[in-house]
Amino acid sequence: MTKLSVNINKIATLRNSRGGNVPNVLATALACERFGAEGITVHPRPDERHIRYQDVYDLKAEISTEFNIEGNCQEQKFIDLVLANKPTQVTLVPDALNQITSNHGWDTVKHRSYLQDMVKLFKDQGIRVSIFVDPDEDMVEAAAETGTDRIELYTEAFAAEFGFDSAKAVAPYYKAAKKAEEVGLGLNAGHDLDLNNLKYFNEHIPGLLEVSIGHALIADALYLGLEETIKRYLAALKA
């Protein structure tokens, strides 16, 4: 069964909008675990506009499932944060400064040498590495040459097309997944996956190990409650 990692950035966004510690980021993460989530994801950014660096230390000390830290490894503060906390997995994302949300994967051909260095840095500390990529077979193949353990497929394009032509939407992701399997890479996915499209995606993507879902899941929790929402996402991921 594909694992569900809950991205709790939006909980931090809500907390920061008012000040104080409500809602509590750590308490939410622990509740997600209690309700069945198999991982917690955070994506700290340099301005700490949602997840704060201290949140990462607090989470690392308390959560018991897999911990995934996403972010831009071109920022030294991010590298230092990951090395200090040694999460289960680090996901390398090519964010620009002040970018609202991730909107593209790495060009693993152009940046192959740089990514090789970053992958080695983290793997030498026992951290599993995943590289955020678009569903492009060339990018997947080049990612394998960096030494990374996994890739994470950027799924916004799938989500945008899904309501119009689901088969067309998933086709490039299927090809990318088969290429990952061919070159020996583990496979994650994330961005705009939700209760409408997740089951279809999971059923049509071979070898999918993990999805990271935040915005849609937290929005659904406003209507359904957090426990019921996580149950529904887990149900969508059943083989």
Q: Annotated binding site for 3-amino-2-oxopropyl phosphate, which residues?
A: 7, 18, 192, 214-215
3-state helix, strand, coil in the chain (%, to 5): 45, 15, 35
Q: Residue for token digits 């909008």?
A: 17
**DSSP character for 149?**
S
Per the CB < 8 A criterion, the answer to whether 129 and 119 are in contact is: yes
What separation in angstroms does the CA of 185 have from each of 1, 10, 126, 130, 210? 17, 29, 17, 9, 13
The DSSP H or E segment spanning 67 is strand 66-71
- Hey, what are 33's tokens? 């675990």
**DSSP character for 124?**
T
What residue numbers does the annotated binding site for 1-deoxy-D-xylulose 5-phosphate cover? 45, 50, 101
Is residue 191 part of the annotated active site? The answer reads yes
Is residue 70 part of the annotated active site? The answer reads yes
Catalytic residue among 43, 66, 152, 210: 43
Catalytic residue among 66, 70, 152, 210: 70
* Cα(23)–Cα(13) distance, integer angstroms: 9
Catalytic residue among 33, 66, 152, 191: 191
Residue among 39, 65, 37 at smallest CA distance from 233? 37
What residue numbers does the annotated binding site cover? 7, 18, 45, 50, 101, 192, 214-215
First-to-last C-alpha distance (Å) of the chain = 6
Which are the catalytic amino acids? Answer: 43, 70, 191
